[in-house]
Amino acid sequence: MKKLFSLLLAVMMIVTLFAGCAGEPATTPSGDETPSSSNNEGSSSNQGAVTPGDDSETPMYMYWQQSIGTDTWIENPMCGALSLLPNMIFDQLSTIDTTTNTRYWKIAEKIEQSEDLKTLTVTVRDGIKWHDGERLTVDDVVFSFYAAACIPSSNHASFWEGLVGGYEVQQGEAETFEGLSVEGNVITLTFKQPQPTGINDLGNTQIFPKHCFTEGIRWAEFNSQPYWSNPVGTGAYKISEAKYPDYCKLVRNDNYFGEKAGIKNVTFVAYGDSNAASAALISGDLDLGNRQIVKDKTAALSIQSQNGNMEIIDVAGYYYRRFAFRTERDDGTGKEILLNPEVRLAINLLIDEEDIASVYGDAAQPIHVLFSPTDPAYPTHLTREWSDVEEAKRLLNKNGWDYEDVLTIAYYVDDPTTHTMMQYIVQSLEQAGVQAELMYIKESDYGTTPKNFDMLYAGGNAAADYQGIQYLGLTSTQNTWIGDVNRRKDRYDALYNLYDTSVGEARVQYAQELMELNFEDNYFIPLFVLNNVVVYNKNNIYVPNNVFNNEGTSEYKWHEWKMLH
């Protein structure tokens, strides 16, 4: 099986490449709106003069991709964002430049934290207006906090569950957060446990206009509200036209409370797939592409070889992919044998992380733990063979695996590479006689889909606060779905609480110890960490090169971007 996946995917990519090279958007903006092809002759870097600057009417063209598709709505950034469009429309409470550890205050004038790390105080900035001209209020911020806690598939749900009364609101047992109070433009939040990364977690919250949503909205219906067809934000850009499923035009928000965006017009264009988008980069019809188009450095160099105006930015990544076992299904039919750590190890040994990572070239690195290999704290002593079929068979036979049983593997990542990889995983398990079936769940439906599967393929952030570790502890009741609750309480909770209430070197040490336990227990099977590559047309646009230096950066400095003609 070694390298079979790589060969299968190579064949698939060749086929789709030929299909994609001639690909175009389903409908491009007509007339003078058509993305213009740039001259592919080589030119000097744009790091010098950046003229004509603010008044150029020429749009910057970017790739429009969403996990929910581009048929009907703009995706809710609280649930994920595959393009930079939401970052242009919406503001967070704050952003951070992780290359310099500089915090930029946005909708929050400041966020302060108590010495015991249990209380956060948000001062809401005055004088901000929504794109429709209405004034932003504290009510909008509080409304957004409830949305972040309660909407399906929210990336913020576990953070808000820790608020006093947060879990009760999420479960429908209470209507208001006991731990939230408002006085003037100051919001005070009280948590049950210390929040060492609380300022970051809270700062990352996007804020939405309460007046644009139905009064008494059901949170399960939040993402399908008419608002999302033309959402109003406070960001540096506002929507001027959205033609679903083809393109979305933005124009600079000249009433923005911060520094005005340097580029006046931006057009996001939807292409059939990433291969068609890659062809558009080569032809000059797109000005910038990130991981959604450019999978690795090899792909970036190929694009650059065909369009000499393309500049490459290498980005140190921290986004990981992994499997998680789910020993408790919603229908009550979980596999008891998966409670055995030797059985989980056997499944792990049938999955060749190194082979899977090789598909992404130098954009991915295989991992044994939920750390980035570029992190100095990566525990290098935690290592084993990437694949060992004979040992896996021995462990399965020793523990009485039922070879008539079928393992259900769910995933929600929707791209050709992932679909092929999941087929490869099924074949890998078959090496030891383990039968498996796949369950694809559309990401936008994941929150409401019954979780009747045994393993989940998903992603997460392995950056400075080691977010993947949160699922090992039982501080959050959401983490009970992994199962084996009593054993995990005994092995993980005391250590997790030390990790969760520590900062600095102590926090890193506890994170390493938690990873050592998971290395033994295999509740998670870490697969690989994805780095990132960004390419942009230096003949058309000026991009400040530090905004993509680290994937943890959420401050894109739109005021520094420029059109060059």
Measured CA to CA, the distance from residue 412 to residue 401 in angstroms comes to: 27
Average pLDDT of the chain to the nearest whole number: 83
Do residues 363 and 530 lie in contact, with contact meaning Cβ atoms separated by under 8 Å? yes
Which percentage of the chain shows pLDDT scores above 70?
82
Residue 147 pLDDT > 50:
yes
What the block records as the tokens of 74 is 């703009």
Predicted TM-score (pTM) above 0.75: no
Interval 362-385 mean pLDDT = 82
Backbone CA torsion sign across 173, 444, 35, 43: positive
* Banded pLDDT at 48 (limits 50, 70, 90): very low
Around Cβ 10, how many Cβ atoms within 10 Å? 12
- Tell me the angle at which helices 504-521 and 341-349 cross, rounded to the nearest 10 degrees: 90
Q: Which of 44-58, 103-117, 292-306, 506-520: highest mean pLDDT? A: 103-117
Encode pLDDT of 71-91 as tens digits: 788 888 888 778 899 999 999
Strand order in the sheet with 108-113: 108-113, 119-124, 186-190, 180-183
Residue 219 pLDDT > 80:
yes
DSSP string, 231-282: ----SSEEEEEEETTTEEEEEE-TT-SSSPPS-SEEEEE--SSHHHHHHHHH
Interval 424-436 mean pLDDT = 96
Residues 6+ apart with CB under 8 A from 394: none
Host H or E run for residue 44: none
Do residues 92 and 554 lie in contact, with contact meaning Cβ atoms separated by under 8 Å? yes
Interval 433-450 mean pLDDT = 88
Encode pLDDT of 223-237 as tens digits: 889 999 999 999 999
Buried b (16+ CB within 10 A) or exposed e, 106-115: bbbeebebee
What the block records as the tokens of 557 is 């400095």
Do residues 363 and 357 lie in contact, with contact meaning Cβ atoms separated by under 8 Å? no
> Nearest to residue 335, comparing CAs of 526, 477, 482, 487?
482
